[in-house]
Amino acid sequence: MKDVTIINSGFAYGGFTSGSEGIWTRNEPTDPPAPDYKSLSERLRTPVSHIVQPYQAGGGKAAVVSSENGGSGVIKDSAFKKTDGLVTAEKGLVLSIIAADCVPVYLVDKYAGVVGLLHCGWRSAAGPLLKDAVGLMKGLGSVPGDIQVYIGPHICADCYEVGAEVREVYVHAFTEKELEKIFIARGNSLYLSLSQAIRSKAENEGIPDENISVSEECTCHDPEFYSFRRGDKGRQNLAYIMINTTEQGAENNVPVQNTFKS
């Protein structure tokens, strides 16, 4: 089991955890919350009815979440179907997504008081998901220049060998210069840097390069995380973020113990 703090700024709190079982979904909307969600809720001192999980589909859809959506996908049917990005301006509401090698992307605008969380697989990293989420954040008062992007633990470029069919999709989504950074050729093999793809997408939305940081954690390298590529089936890690209430902000305002490179 492994927990990583991604954001602890007083304004917002975000993390990435394998949980103890790695089970964050239920078979039926009427089933009780997964035990890992119950432990997370205790740790965050936030009721499960304030946590939201979408039904992810590896696509490009993002949605704005408000307090009436609390508990969606955790204690009741999710209001967010085939959705891979969530955005909110509400304090004390926890956005969450599951990932096992895919990239959790945390978006934070403390000036506008808005956060977002995306689940980016290789397809959505090349698609409109980030652009759409930033668009929703702008609708809530965000300015791209004020958005901080934290690219959380995911499968790193050393581990992520891909086929030529992936590059064929990326050729239509990125410039030749961007592709040079996104793909790494070693021998006859091709490796994909998902973080570079997301960085390019973020920069294209007007988010400054210095606002973007990348976690050095790799879900595939580190056996304490769940990894699809390493063979974990049905067990995943959870990424989550919340805007602190004033009380939580005061309690959580301690330095982040995490390794990030910019």
What is the closest distance, in whole angstroms, from the C-beta atom of residue 62 to Zn ion in the complex? 27
Please report, as residue ranges, which positions from 63 to 92 form the binding site for Zn ion (by CB under 5 A).
Answer: none
Please identify, among the stretches 69-77, 150-158, 162-170, 206-214, the one whose residues bind Zn ion according to the rule CB under 5 A.
Answer: 150-158
Provide the 3-class DSSP secondary structure of residue 174. Answer: coil
What is the closest distance, in whole angstroms, from the C-beta atom of residue 156 to Zn ion in the complex? 3
- Total binding residues for Zn ion by CB under 5 A? 6
78, 54 Cβ separation under 8 angstroms: yes
What is the closest distance, in whole angstroms, from the C-beta atom of residue 229 to Zn ion in the complex? 9
Pairing of strands 148-151, 212-215: parallel
- Return the beta strands (E) in 100-252 as ranges: 103-109, 114-120, 148-151, 161-162, 183-186, 189-192, 212-215, 237-243
144's CB contacts (< 8 A; 6+ apart) are 134, 138, 205, 206, 207
Q: Starting at the earlier edge strand, list the strands of the sheet with 212-215.
A: 62-64, 85-88, 114-120, 103-109, 148-151, 212-215, 260-261
17, 237 Cβ separation under 8 angstroms: yes
| Chain length of the chain | 262
What is the closest distance, in whole angstroms, from the C-beta atom of residue 85 to Zn ion in the complex? 24
Please report, as residue ranges, which positions from 151 to 180 form the binding site for Zn ion (by CB under 5 A).
Answer: 156, 158-159
170, 179 Cβ separation under 8 angstroms: yes
What is the closest distance, in whole angstroms, from the C-beta atom of residue 168 to Zn ion in the complex? 24
Per-residue binding letters, 201-230, with Zn ion (x by CB under 5 A)? -----------------x-xx---------
Q: Which is nearer to Zn ion, 218 or 238 (CB)?
A: 218
Q: Which is nearer to Zn ion, 3 or 222 (CB)?
A: 222
Q: Which is nearer to Zn ion, 87 or 102 (CB)?
A: 102
Q: Which is nearer to Zn ion, 239 or 241 (CB)?
A: 239
Site for Zn ion, rule CB under 5 A: 156, 158-159, 218, 220-221
